[in-house]
Structures are given as C-alpha cells and as structure tokens.
Amino acid sequence: MFLGLLLFCSNLVTSQELKAYERKAKAFIENVRNGRKDNIAATITYPFEREYPIPSIKNKAEFVKRYDEVFDEILKAEIIKSLPQKDWKDMGWRGIELNNGNVWIDKSGALITVNYQSKFETRLKNKLIEAERFHLHASLTKYKAPLYLLETLNYRVRIDDMGNGNYRYASWPIKQKMSDAPEVVILDGTWIHDNNSKNHHFEFTKKGGFVYDCSIIEWGEPGSPPAKVMIYQNNKEVFSEAAKIVVK
C-alpha cells in the first residue's frame, strides 16, 4: 500500500514537471499559430542574433518588422504542427528545444534563438558576404565564408572559413579599419567543439610557440562574455581579453 502510494506520488511529480515545460512550448506554438509577433518579441533579450553577416535584431520593433524573415512559412508550419510532449525537449538549464535545436525557448517561455535559416536570410547572407569583400584589405578577400567578427578592448578579430576544415585568423588594433592591412594573419586554424556544450573555439598556431585561441561562449555562466581571445606562448598565457561578437 505504502509502495503504491509512493509510486503514485512520484509519477504525479514527474507528470507535473513535464507539464511545466510542455505548457511553455504550447504557449509558444499558439503565439506562432496566431501570428502574435508582439507577444514573442516581448520575451526576447536583445540583441537577437542571426548568422553572420546578417545583422542582429536590435529591439522589439525591429523583431516585429523582421519576423517573417526569420519565421517563414516552412518554420511556422514546423512549429505549428509540433507536439509539446513529443517534438519539444527539456534540456535542463539550457532551455527547451524544438527538433534538435531549430528553435530554443527558456523555462519561462522566452525565445532564446532560432537556428533555422529561411530562404530570405540565406539570400541576404550571401549578398552581404559578397558586399563585404569590397570593405576588406585585398589580402583577405578570398574565403569560403566569414564566421565571426570579434572586438576586444584593444583588438578587432575576424575568423573566416577557408574550406576543407581550415580557418583563418586576422586581427587589427581596434582603431584600425578592416580595409587596412591586418596586423596578424594566421592560416590553417582548427575548430574545436567543447563536449556536451554549444561552446567551441578556434586555435591558430604561429611561429615562436604561439597559439591564438578564440573561444565562442554560447553556454556560459551568468555574466560571462560571449567570446574570449587568448594568446599562449609555450603553453603559458600571455594575453587574454573578453570579446563581444559584433556580428555572427
């Protein structure tokens, strides 16, 4: 009798926990189904990032204006047809994800990120990539795709995908433009994923025992910077500055 009651209470608690995140997913689904752009916009902590070099969405008014660029008919259909108890997954402190991360909301139901990219955004990204080449120093115009532009207190750092798993690091003093010759350029960098996390970093090796490390911190502790640039010489840290992601 006691064991049966204990199992009943345990199942009840589990059911309540599931319902908590399912309710948030359901509310988000209903907002999308009914076109409640303002409701979704009001939950976001801005800027709302888009893939580099698409500009981040700066505020609620801009999110409402660009809503259909992010939530096209394909993504809206995916969300509307989704089932909270089947297609949404509670990922603990990281939030609640739809279909392996196409959309993330937090435990309060606020929109965190959209990893899906619409045809509009894909065309815009390609157009911006081509336009950006004209604003770079001539030595940097060849690349497969730009990945990150970081700014520390003293430096501007650009990371490009050169194709075939190779990455390029270029940096300038913060007061210089990217049309100026970069102070440092390092090729053949590697991308490293941090286990059980969305965090990752790029390592670039330079003569003299130097390693330049650019960390992208998507799942960090409260107050941690979105990125960090560090330089090591012979395994000893000689430089470290927090960085903001200008565009991603």
Tens digit of each residue's pLDDT (9 = 90 or more) over 25-68: 999 999 999 999 999 999 999 999 898 889 999 999 999 999 99
What is the side-by-side order of every strand in the sheet holding 103-105? 88-90, 96-98, 103-105, 111-114
The β-bridge partners of 231 are 212, 239
Report whether 54 contacts 47 (CB < 8 A). no
CB environment 128-143: b (16+ within 10 A), e (fewer): ebeebeeebbeebeeb
Q: Is 169 helix (H, G, I), strand (E, B) or coil?
A: strand
CA-closest candidate to residue 93, choices 112, 80, 107, 110: 107
Q: Is 137 helix (H, G, I), strand (E, B) or coil?
A: coil
> What is the pLDDT at residue 10?
43
Share of the chain above pLDDT 90, in %: 74
CA distance 173 to 176: 6
Mean pLDDT is lowest, of 21-25, 171-175, 243-247, for 243-247
CA distance 87 to 79: 9
Compute and round to an integer the Cα radius of gyration of the chain.
22
> What is the pLDDT at residue 92?
86
Query: What's the chain's average pLDDT?
Result: 89
Mean pLDDT is lowest, of 128-137, 175-184, 188-197, for 188-197
The β-bridge partners of 245 are 150
CA distance 43 to 107: 12
The β-bridge partners of 148 are 159
Q: Quote the longest CA-to-CA distance of the chain.
A: 79
Q: CB-based contacts of 109: which residues, under 8 Å, 6+ apart?
A: 24, 27, 28, 43
